[in-house]
């Protein structure tokens, strides 16, 4: 289709040559896919709460949350949307956020921001999606100091009366405090119920019992622990299946809660040989009498498994994985290499000199600015919105 339309999409989904559908979009598109009569995978929106327990590493928690929220200006559906913090660490967490480039808004600024982010029907204003904090602040008449990359707004509740409690797809966080783990979990549940059921939630804590309590009660298919939610959910900082298409399970009206991968789009044929006899070592059945039930011994007697043993095994495995990580290289004297050879050795892998890059993200642009070099791009280069905005502002791109 040269022009995408609802009618055209519906025709494609029902076409005889369509074998399977992967629907990424609003609930209307997902329902249409499920109603097409074809096998379909649908995914839903995220509205990720980031729970910060009193035991958390406060500096790392603040840094991780902003890393996830600000990546590509918050357009990843698994990015953090709300911070739910233990009141005991409130002051320290606020300071840590400000140290890492966030700014807490006043009540008046929060009201003006909400008027820009939400439309009259309480939907997300598409004009703020993927924009930087400074651009959105200017739209709302808010003055931000240089270097602020995220705005944090305190709100009193969740739902239609609090527009900023929805998924914002921009570098904006809402902020809540709680007394007691149960109250914090309840706030996170409400955040997910207001537009992110089944998608993703995150928690920052050093207490296993708190993490288990949170994980068991949160209606999310992915619970990311002590990592940026964006990078953890898509499998970059965790061992989840690498994917940008994240199912929400039955909570979100989806057929799967998995990270959608190529495996979901393939038919897999299995040829299965017998691995265990149904009646092992059974004697020939007598023709005139029925064998006694006690003549057939059980195939196996599984040993009982203790949850504590499993938890200990997992902790030991993770600790060993971390211990096996290669240490940072110690500083050593540079080898005696001719200057010409040094200059010809690339610092990192990338496109050949003069060749256009295939993909450019915001981190690529920042590294180029720091190195004082240009990034070659052409019409086929994929540039993320945040990278394009920063690159155009700092004149980093060399067009081919």
Just list the catalytic residues. 77
What phi-psi label fits residue 133: left (phi over 0), alpha (psi between -120 and 50 degrees) or beta? alpha
| Phi, psi angle pair for 56, to nearest 5° | -65, 155
* Measured distance between the N- and C-terminal CA atoms of the chain, rounded to whole angstroms: 29
Residue reference for tokens 């790392």:
60
* Token reading at 311: 């938890």
Inter-residue contact 264 to 247 (CB < 8 Å): no
Please count the helices (runs of H) and the strands (runs of E) in the chain.
Answer: 13, 13
Across the chain, where does the E strand assignment appear? 21-24, 40-43, 48-52, 80-86, 102-104, 150-154, 172-178, 198-204, 220-225, 359-360, 375-377, 382-383, 397-399
Distance CA 257, CA 245 (A): 10
Distance CA 48, CA 233 (A): 11
Looking at the DSSP bridge assignments, the partners of residue 49 are: 82
Q: Residue 151: which of 87, 212, 97, 216 has the closest Cα?
A: 97
């Amino acid at each position: 289709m040269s022009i995408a339309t609802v009618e055209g999409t519906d025709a494609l989904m029902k076409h005889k040559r369509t074998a399977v559908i992967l629907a990424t979009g609003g609930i209307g598109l997902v329902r249409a896919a499920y109603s097409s009569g074809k096998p379909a995978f649908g995914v839903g929106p995220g509205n990720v709460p980031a729970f910060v327990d009193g035991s958390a590493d406060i500096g790392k928690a603040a840094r991780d949350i902003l890393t996830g929220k600000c990546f590509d200006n918050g357009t990843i559906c698994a990015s953090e949307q709300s911070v739910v913090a233990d009141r005991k660490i409130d002051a320290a967490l606020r300071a840590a956020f400000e140290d890492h480039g966030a700014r807490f808004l006043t009540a008046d600024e929060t009201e003006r921001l909400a008027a820009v982010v939400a439309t009259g029907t309480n939907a997300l204003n598409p004009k703020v999606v993927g924009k930087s904090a400074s651009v959105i602040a200017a739209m709302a008449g808010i003055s931000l100091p240089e270097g602020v990359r995220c705005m944090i707004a305190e709100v009193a509740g969740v739902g239609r009366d609090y527009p900023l409690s929805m998924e914002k797809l921009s570098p904006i966080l809402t902020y809540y405090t709680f007394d007691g783990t149960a109250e914090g979990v309840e706030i996170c549940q409400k955040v997910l119920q207001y537009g992110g059921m089944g998608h993703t939630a995150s928690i920052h804590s050093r207490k296993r019992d708190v993490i288990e309590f949170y994980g068991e009660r949160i209606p999310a298919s992915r619970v990311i622990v002590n990592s940026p939610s964006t990078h953890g959910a898509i499998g970059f900082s965790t061992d989840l299946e690498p994917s940008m298409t994240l199912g929400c399970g039955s909570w979100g009206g989806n057929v799967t809660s998995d990270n959608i991968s190529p495996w979901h789009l393939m038919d897999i044929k299995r040829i299965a040989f017998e691995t265990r006899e149904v009646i092992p070592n059974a004697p020939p059945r007598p023709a005139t009498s029925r064998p006694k039930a006690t003549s057939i011994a059980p195939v196996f007697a599984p040993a009982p498994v203790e949850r504590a043993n499993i938890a200990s095994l997992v902790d030991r495995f993770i600790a060993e994985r971390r211990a096996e990580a290669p240490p940072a290289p110690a500083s050593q004297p540079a080898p005696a290499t001719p200057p010409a050879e040094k200059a010809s050795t690339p610092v990192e892998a990338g496109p050949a000199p003069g060749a256009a890059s295939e993909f450019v993200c915001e981190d690529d642009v920042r590294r180029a600015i720091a190195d004082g070099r240009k990034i070659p791009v052409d019409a086929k280069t994929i540039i993320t919105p945040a990278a394009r905005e920063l690159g155009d502002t700092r004149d980093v791109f060399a067009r081919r």
